[in-house]
Every structure is written in C-alpha cells, then in structure tokens.
Chains A and B, each alone.
Chain A
Amino acid sequence: MVIDCKHVWNYISEYMDGTLSDETRDTVQKHLDHCEICSAILDSTRSVIILVADDRVFELPVGFSERLHARIDLEFMAP
C-alpha cells in the first residue's frame, strides 16, 4: 500500500510511540524512506519534544523544596 504525505502526518505520533500495527508501520516507514518532507516533520517533531521536555525548561522556583518540606513539618510533624 502506498499512502500520501497527509496520511503519514496522521501517524507521526503513534509512529514515534511504536503503537502502530506492523502493517501500518511498514507503510509509513516506506514513505519516510523516500520522502524528505515527512522525514523532516518526524525529526523536527522529535527534536521539539526533546527540547520541551528538557529539565531546564520548567524549573522549580528557588527554595521550593525547602518551603514544601517546612510546610509538611508544620502540618503533620509538629510535636
């Protein structure tokens, strides 16, 4: 089976997660092997996800941990 680019786009996310059926995955794989545009979409999606998920993007405020544990002490551990 041959599918066009727009169909491939619908499968990008599941392709990344490895949750497509074997048949669909092979069809998508074949398309990706020769389509630069769809390969670039897949690569850029992966890259964007890696950057967003980087620990340095969403950081805990300074002192967060200390304040949290102090609060827990105050609520539950006070003598």
Chain B
Amino acid sequence: MKVPQISNRTEAELIAAILGGEIQLYHELIRPYERSVYVMALSYMKNEADAEDVAQEAFVKAFRKLESFRAESKFSTWLISIAINETRTRLRRKALVRMESLDQPPDEDKSISPALLRDWREIPSEAVEREEVRNLIHLAVEQLPEIYREVFLLRDVEELTINETAEALKITIPSVKVRLHRARMRLQKQLAPQLRTVNRASKRGWLAWS
C-alpha cells in the first residue's frame, strides 16, 4: 500500500518521531486530513461552528492517543474513527441524537427506485461553483439517514476503500455495500432531476463560470 510522503518522511516515520519527542511534527502529520475530519464532523453536527469544535477536539484526542495507534490500520482511518466517536459523544451529551439513530435502521426500503431520466447529459463540474447547486447537494446529503450518510461520505467523498469504511465505522463489509448502494440511489433519485433542471435553466450562465 502506498504511504503518503510528507516532506520526505513517511507517516510511520513521522508518528515514530512524534512519539520520540518531536511533537511539533504533529502539525505536519495531520495537515492532509483536516478537511476529511471536518467534513465528517459537519455531517453529524449540521453547523459549521460545532463541526469545527468537534474536529479540533478530535485532533487533540488523537494526539493524546497517538501511542495506541497500531500500524495495521491507516492513520487516516484511525483518525476518522476518533472523529466519529467524538461527534457521537458530543451529540449524546447535547441530547441531540436524532430519533432515527435510536430506531431500527431504515433497512426496510429494499429497493429504491431511481429517477428515470431520458437524454441524461453529464453535468459539468463547474456547476458546483454556484451556491444554488451546492445548497441542493448539502440538503440532499443532510437528508440521508445517518447510517447511509456516514458510509457515503467516507467511501465516495473521502475515498476510503470499502474495507477502510467498514473499519472506521466498525460495521461489516456487506453492510457498507448495502448502505452505500442505498445512499447512492437516494442521491441519484433526488439530485439527478434537480441538477438537470438547474443545468438547463442556466445554460447561458455556464460560459460565465467556466
């Protein structure tokens, strides 16, 4: 497996050096993962200030626990599971745990019918520069049941493998696959028609943005 190279030291070397006393290297170690940890925190906390707070806390905890990190996991996966634990603790403390996570997981919707679209055309990536499009996407992701959302974010946004996603969330590989499928289908169902409409309505606008 490829280990990310940071200023010529591998992650493993950085971690060893930090544990050996060069603690200022911790800044360097975490820099590549700031966004991943923040995005995961945001998906649970739902507002930027709380998400930032939780992300900071997760990085602080990870430093304190660094000695317990074992090289069989990837540092990123380990870090993200600390962040997820931190968000869950925080939500419980605030008694903000949503009912859906207490109830049976919504595993009943065996087959989600996708949106049927004729003449689908790829939406250009510049679309996301528009606030309207970002808002549609944020809303759709936010509306996913939590168990689907966390799998989707880790796998498709943070690009963890299926195995790493299972490890970070402490669930089985078949569960990851099923939840990922449902998350993707729900997003297709909601976003594909919306994005296509927005795209069509503003065809003339594209040039200005590209």
A residues within 8 Å of B by Cβ? 6, 9-10, 12-14, 16-17, 19, 36-37, 40-41, 43-45, 47-58, 60-61, 64-65, 67-69, 71-72, 75-77
Contacts and interface: CB of A to CB of B under 8 A. Distances in A.
A37 B156 CA distance: 24
Contact of B120 (A12, A40, A52, A77): A40
Interface string B125-163: 101110001100110110000000000000011010010
Interface of B: 23-24, 26-27, 31, 34-35, 38-39, 42, 48, 52, 55-56, 59-60, 63, 111, 113-120, 122-123, 125, 127-129, 133-134, 137-138, 140-141, 156-157, 159, 162, 177, 180-181, 184-185, 187-188, 191-192, 195-196
A44 B34 contact: no
A48 B122 contact: no
Contacts of B127: 51
B134 A56 contact: yes
B156 A52 contact: yes
B157 A68 contact: no
A15 B192 CA distance: 19
B18 to A, nearest CB: 10
B67 to A, nearest CB: 14
A72 B26 contact: yes
A38 to B, nearest CB: 9
5 contacts: A13-B185, A44-B188, A47-B195, A51-B191, A60-B38
In the A-B complex, the 6 residue pairs with the closest CB atoms? A13-B181, A40-B120, A44-B192, A45-B188, A54-B128, A41-B114
A30 B128 CA distance: 33
B122 A43 contact: yes
A75 B141 contact: no
B60 A64 contact: no
